[in-house]
Amino acid sequence: MLPVIRCDEHLYSVPKIDLGKGDIKDFINELSGFHEQFADCFQRNESRNHFFKYMSGQFSPIERKSIEPIALAVKDGNVRAMQRFVSDAPWDDNKMIAKCCQTILRNCRKSR
């Protein structure tokens, strides 16, 4: 049985964000630059490309953000290849985490 607090609806409001094309004009370039920071975390070019497609799919307007809908929605997406990427492709997760932390720290320092 769930605690009462987890059964209550509307525990907090989720802000609505209304973005237009002008607001996100350069987003794909920014995402590409972010993606490039992690290039050396992957052993193969294909894995790097699938990583970018997966990230792009996470930001896409599709309702379901699982592998198959993402692969079907992105340009040159391949469901099986993306599934293999997520489940089997080797990448250096420790290096990815370290790079992510470095990026966050760098951005926090800039905002001071």
What are the extents of the domains in the chain? Answer: 23-110
Report, as an integer, the average pLDDT of 50-63: 92
| Separation of alpha carbons 108 and 112, rounded Å | 7
Predicted confidence band of residue 110 (pLDDT cuts 50, 70, 90): confident
Q: For residue range 2-18, list pLDDT tens digits in order.
A: 666 666 666 667 777 77
pLDDT score, position 2: 61
pLDDT score, position 111: 72
pLDDT score, position 24: 75
DSSP secondary-structure letter at 8? S
pLDDT score, position 6: 62
| Separation of alpha carbons 79 and 48, rounded Å | 16
